[in-house]
Structure 1
Amino acid sequence: MMGGGQPIIVLNQNTKRESGRKVQVQNINAGKMIADVIRTCLGPRSMLKMLMDPMGGIVMTNDGNAILREITVQHPAAKHMIEIARTQDEEVGDGTTSVVILAGEMLAVAEQFLEHKMHPVVIIQAYRQALEDSINILREQLSVPVDINSEEQMVDVIKSCIGTKFMGQYADLACSIALRAVKTITTEQDGHKEIDVKKWARIEKIPGGTIEDCQVLNGIMVNKDVTHQKMKRRIENPRIILLDCPLEYKKGESQTNVEITAETDFTKMLEIEEEHVKSMCADLIALQPDLVITEKGVSDLAQHYLVKAGITCIRRVKKSDNNRLARACGATIANRTEELKEEDVGTGAGLFEIKKIGDDYFTFITECKDPKACTILLRGPSKDILNEVERNLHDALGVARNLVLEPFLVPGGGAVEMAVSHVLQEKAKTVSGVKQWPYTALGQALEVIPRTLAQNCGANIIRLLTALRAKHASGETFWGVNGESGELSDMRQLKIWEPLAVKLQVFKTSVETAVLLLRIDDIVSGSKKKNEDAGPQGEMPMDDGGMA
């Protein structure tokens, strides 16, 4: 062991080492295996997976990212495939299934070249060149601009993205929710748009009610009740103060010792505490707020003063909720009551009320004039369904966000992959030398998306793909597979579109992953002998990406 406590890998007969062709084939098999797991989750006729976690909880979903998050694998290459779905999800919020299927296929088509002793670096150069060309093809030949202000066009795009999900039957509702939420939280600075869905659009799930009751509030909802029964539970046009400090006397830390000699000293201490709390409340009352919300606690004495002044108070609100409230009602969060000024008071909200839903009380601060933050309220029959609705909504929000940031579309239904595949195979004829073969193979690998779509809805795959190739060869680039019926259709008529940002990211991530895994020619796992008779410890399992 080194000084820092890190194990050194020493190559001796006890170290497990695999190299060369064997490792490359293993990595390719691991990649293919992960792709096979979620292949059936692509398209509107997709199947659900039922996942059981070690704690006995069950998740039912067809969201590629959610499935891969729950799977436990041993093989390092398979772990990397799972990682790319997460990257895709964080970057653009959609296309997680496509990216894994594509990466798996790109690895699979490279296998034949490795068998023929072609050097991985040659394959990688061809792949990189093909990626550059396909990005140019997407941007210049296949993308169609979209009008962000046209609600109808935007809804069509978002609908085609969640048509494949559980919420497909409530597509209109989900689209309008996603659009409203994204429009609400969009801010513009120096011509640059900023949309942070995770931070400013909070999804609240409350079991009960029907899915039709889901809505975007033009304001914020917090799972809190007032601290004192006599406080008002409904205020119109409230003046709101947000605090980040407790309205109680600050106790010393655990090591504080106080020695009291005379009886009067204790009374004196209590008086000092009371004075402190009284002065804090006086600072608040001076600004005449109707509502005080703090992230910390509120003592009984402070509640007494606030009730007397007719002020409603809510305590222990999460920091993230407080930040959203500040954006929605225009208040500034104060750290000390002495520093409060008139301009820190939020007056942007139109209504404060507390409603009881089920057994819980919820605080609604709504009818905000210009909220730059919002809460999405989801209702539904059970927790499992609500979780699935939330996952689908996350995708829809991602799509809406991408469109606002980059307003270009490409046709869905495998049409765009087929079009790029056709152009790449034509271009391959101009590529010189051995690189031509992997370049062509990458073009053919893209056909896996229309092929999988056809497979998932039970169509005749060979006939369908031959017909689709013929369509694209004659220049009809908007034709793809209708995932519902398994026939060829013009995607413009079906109104199936995808944001350009998602497609670009899918292509980039999948090619980069294939390239990375092809560059690995050695897996070394160090292990140290504990006892001579005990077997080697801490080895990396070298199976073919078997699932646990």
Structure 2
Amino acid sequence: MSAQGQQVVILKEGTQRSTGRDARGSNIMAARIVSEAVKTSLGPKGMDKMLVDSFGDVTITNDGATMLKEMDVQHPAAKMMVEVSKTQDDEVGDGTTSVVILTGELLGKATELMEKKVHPTVIIDGYRQAEEKALAILKEISEKVDPKDKATLMNVSKTTMASKLVNQHSEYLSDISVDAVLQIAEPEGDGYTVDLDMIKIEKKPGASMTETRLVRGLIIDKEVVHDGMPKQIKDAKIGLLNAAMEIEKTEFDAKISIETPEEMQAYLDQEENM
């Protein structure tokens, strides 16, 4: 505060400051630009995007989370859209494009209401009521699926893969995916819980998608330390060690005083015999 009681704001040179309606308009516009960028990748006729980073690496995808992760977004509101997509990917694993588009459309409708002099607080309250209604409808129309009903689970998996590059192998990969999830599903209350961290994916370039296989166990991606070692062992006994297999050097402070050539030779002889 200054001596006259006026507020003094010190900003970095080149910083732009906006408040009120201008700030809301800028934030909504930035968020909607992100939404429009991914909109054309949605649906059965959605197009893949080719992304080239600063190193020249090329990524071809129609996954919303991947696209937004590769985009160099600077605007704070646009970064929030990226976080929305990331959260959707972490929590659900799909619908990353849809959630960004839906958010953009909600902001667009909110803009129309604000132009009609509807206060933002009223709009937020209305959206919260709509959320509660939507969740109630989803709960009403949802169907409980028995884990033994593999056909339904595979249909869910194939639907998810339909818009991905792997869609031509969706039947084969869905079978593997469902089996992998069922292996780690644990009963919890009226349903099941799945810790996806229990599923690890090892990728090896050069082979076909149909050579993908499920290993009910553990894969350690390491090469043999010597060519003479066996490549395959049946009924092997495996030891798990939580320690390094190496001999640590003993740390000690010692001084050796050598005064004659004979003592030096004796020291070297002892070193060879150790």
TM bracket, shorter-chain basis? 0.7 to 0.9
**Which digits, 9 at most, give the CA deviation of each residue in 1:183-230, with x for residues without a partner?**
223345788844222x32221111122221111122233232333444
Q: Matched residues in 2 for 1:190 and 1:132: separation?
A: 23
Q: Matched residues in 1 for 2:183 and 2:256: separation?
A: 57
Find the residue that maps to 1:51 and give its secondary structure: strand
Q: 1:375 — aligned with what?
A: none
Contact 2:35-2:101 within 8 A present in 1 as well: yes
Q: 1:66 — aligned with what?
A: 66
Q: Matched residues in 1 for 2:37 and 2:223: separation?
A: 46
Contact 1:85-1:96 within 8 A present in 2 as well: yes
Q: Matched residues in 2 for 1:112 and 1:190: separation?
A: 44
Cα distance, 1:70 vs structure 2: 0.5
Q: Matched residues in 2 for 1:195 and 1:258: separation?
A: 57
Q: Matched residues in 1 for 2:223 and 2:256: separation?
A: 39
Q: Matched residues in 2 for 1:100 and 1:225: separation?
A: 43
Cα distance, 1:123 vs structure 2: 0.7
Cα distance, 1:55 vs structure 2: 1.0
Following superposition of structure 1 onto structure 2, how do residues 342-353 of structure 1 map, counting pairs within 5 Å?
none
Q: 1:75 — aligned with what?
A: 75
Contact 1:35-1:101 within 8 A present in 2 as well: yes
Find the residue that maps to 2:40 and give its secondary structure: helix
**Which digits, 9 at most, give the CA deviation of each residue in 1:520-543, with x for residues without a partner?**
xxxxxxxxxxxxxxxxxxxxxxxx
Find the residue that maps to 1:60 and give its secondary structure: strand
Q: Matched residues in 2 for 1:68 and 1:17: separation?
A: 26
Q: Matched residues in 2 for 1:12 and 1:93: separation?
A: 43
Q: Matched residues in 1 for 2:205 and 2:253: separation?
A: 49
RMSD: 2.5
Find the residue that maps to 2:203 and give its secondary structure: strand
Cα distance, 1:244 vs structure 2: 2.3
Q: 2:45 — aligned with what?
A: 45
Contact 2:147-2:182 within 8 A present in 1 as well: no
Q: 1:297 — aligned with what?
A: none
Q: Matched residues in 2 for 1:59 and 1:258: separation?
A: 58
Q: 2:172 — aligned with what?
A: 173
Q: 2:211 — aligned with what?
A: 213
Cα distance, 1:133 vs structure 2: 1.3
* 2:32 equivalent to 1:36: no
Q: Matched residues in 2 for 1:236 and 1:189: separation?
A: 36
Q: 1:436 — aligned with what?
A: none
Q: 1:111 — aligned with what?
A: 111
Q: Matched residues in 1 for 2:187 and 2:236: separation?
A: 27
Find the residue that maps to 2:137 and give its secondary structure: helix
Q: 2:131 — aligned with what?
A: 131
Distance 1:247-1:74 versus aligned 2 partners, 3 A rule: closer
Q: Matched residues in 2 for 1:177 and 1:167: separation?
A: 13
Distance 1:134-1:16 versus aligned 2 partners, 3 A rule: same
Cα distance, 1:131 vs structure 2: 0.7
Listed as ranges, the gaps of 5+ residues in structure 1 are: 1-8, 271-548
TM-score, with length taken from structure 2: 0.85
Q: Aligned residue pairs: how many? A: 257
Partner amino acid for 2:249? K
Q: Matched residues in 2 for 1:32 and 1:260: separation?
A: 76
Q: 2:255 — aligned with what?
A: 259
Distance 1:259-1:201 versus aligned 2 partners, 3 A rule: farther
Following superposition of structure 1 onto structure 2, how do residues 115-514 of structure 1 map, counting pairs within 5 Å?
115-140=115-140, 142-188=141-187, 193-197=192-196, 199-252=197-250, 257-260=253-256, 263=267, 266=271, 270=274
Q: Matched residues in 2 for 1:236 and 1:260: separation?
A: 53
Cα distance, 1:10 vs structure 2: 4.7
Find the residue that maps to 2:225 and give its secondary structure: coil
Cα distance, 1:267 vs structure 2: 6.1
Identity %: 38
**Which digits, 9 at most, give the CA deviation of each residue in 1:272-304, with x for residues without a partner?**
xxxxxxxxxxxxxxxxxxxxxxxxxxxxxxxxx
Contact 2:31-2:77 within 8 A present in 1 as well: yes
Distance 1:35-1:202 versus aligned 2 partners, 3 A rule: same
Find the residue that maps to 2:214 and give its secondary structure: strand
Cα distance, 1:25 vs structure 2: 1.1
Find the residue that maps to 1:41 and give its secondary structure: coil
Listed as ranges, the gaps of 5+ residues in structure 2 are: 1-6, 258-265
TM-score, with length taken from structure 1: 0.44
Find the residue that maps to 2:200 and give its secondary structure: strand
Q: Matched residues in 1 for 2:116 and 2:100: separation?
A: 26
Q: Matched residues in 2 for 1:186 and 1:21: separation?
A: 49
Distance 1:77-1:252 versus aligned 2 partners, 3 A rule: farther
Q: Matched residues in 1 for 2:159 and 2:121: separation?
A: 38
* 2:9 equivalent to 1:11: yes
Q: Matched residues in 1 for 2:235 and 2:189: separation?
A: 32
Contact 1:44-1:165 within 8 A present in 2 as well: no
